[in-house]
Structure 1
Amino acid sequence: MTTKVPVWAKALGSVQSALIWEFPGKKTIKVAWSVNLHKIITLFLVLGMMFWFDNFTTGAWIYLAIHGIYGYCWLIKDLGFRDHRLEAKTSIGGAVMLYIVLIGWYWVIPYIFISQRVVPTNIELFIAVYLHTLGVVTTIAADCQRHFSLKYRKGLITDGMFKYTRNPNYLGEIMIYSSFAFLASHWIAWAVVAYATLSTFFPNMYNKDASISRHPGWQEYSTQSGLLVPWGLLNIRALRDIFGKSQLNYKPE
Structure 2
Amino acid sequence: MPNPVVQRSPDGWIAPVWKAVWYLLTSIPIGEEYRKTLQLRHAINLSKGLTFPVMFLLILWYNRLTTVTAAYAAIHGSYGVLWLVKEELYRDASWETPCTLGSAVTLVIGMSIMFWTSPYLLITGGEGVEPGPIQLCFILTLFIFGNWLHHSSDVQKYFVLQAKRGLITNGLFSRCRNPNYLGEMMIYGSFAGFSINHELYWVPWIYLFIIWSGLFLPSWLAKDKSMSRYKEWSEYTSRSGLILPWPFSVKSNA
- TM-score for both structures, normalised by structure 1: 0.86
Matched, 1:19 2:24: yes
Answer yes or no: is the 8 Å Cα contact 1:112–1:189 preserved in 2. no
Matched, 1:230 2:245: yes
Distance 1:9 1:103, change over 3 A: farther
Aligned match for 2:234, one of 219, 222, 233? 219
Partner of 1:164: 175
Structure 2 gap segments, 5+ residues each: 1-8
Deviation of 1:139 after TM superposition, in Å, equals 0.6
Partner of 2:4: none
Q: Which moved more, 1:179-188 or 1:169-178?
A: 179-188
Partner of 2:133: 122
Deviation of 1:123 after TM superposition, in Å, equals 1.5
| Superposed counterparts of 1:36-47, under 5 Å | 36-47=45-56
Q: Which moved more, 1:38-47 or 1:5-14?
A: 5-14
Distance 1:100 1:16, change over 3 A: farther
Deviation of 1:214 after TM superposition, in Å, equals 0.8
Distance 1:178 1:20, change over 3 A: same
The one-letter code of the counterpart of 1:138 is L
Matched, 1:9 2:14: yes
Partner of 2:212: 197
Matched, 1:68 2:77: yes
The one-letter code of the counterpart of 1:127 is F
Answer yes or no: is the 8 Å Cα contact 2:114–2:208 preserved in 1. no
Question: How many angstroms apart in 1 are the aligned matches of 2:130 and 2:117?
Answer: 17
The one-letter code of the counterpart of 1:137 is W
Answer yes or no: is the 8 Å Cα contact 1:131–1:179 preserved in 2. yes
Deviation track 1:97-117 (CA, whole Å, cap 9, x = no partner) reads: 213445641111211111112
Question: How many angstroms apart in 2 are the aligned matches of 1:201 and 1:221?
Answer: 21
Deviation of 1:7 after TM superposition, in Å, equals 3.2
Distance 1:58 1:175, change over 3 A: same
Question: How many angstroms apart in 2 are the aligned matches of 1:41 and 1:227?
Answer: 32
Deviation of 1:9 after TM superposition, in Å, equals 2.6
The one-letter code of the counterpart of 1:145 is Q
CA RMSD of aligned residues (A): 1.7
Secondary structure at the residue paired with 1:29? Answer: coil
Matched, 1:51 2:66: no
**Structure with the largest fraction of helix:** 1
Secondary structure at the residue paired with 1:230? Answer: coil
Structure 1 gap segments, 5+ residues each: 239-253
| Superposed counterparts of 1:80-95, under 5 Å | 80-95=89-104
Deviation of 1:5 after TM superposition, in Å, equals 3.0
The one-letter code of the counterpart of 1:81 is Y
The one-letter code of the counterpart of 1:53 is Y
- TM-score for both structures, normalised by structure 2: 0.86
Partner of 1:151: 162
Deviation of 1:8 after TM superposition, in Å, equals 3.9
Question: How many angstroms apart in 1 are the aligned matches of 2:123 and 2:17?
Answer: 32
Percent identity, aligned pairs only, is 34
Answer yes or no: is the 8 Å Cα contact 2:27–2:103 preserved in 1. yes
Distance 1:201 1:114, change over 3 A: same
Answer yes or no: is the 8 Å Cα contact 1:31–1:87 preserved in 2. yes
Distance 1:212 1:102, change over 3 A: farther
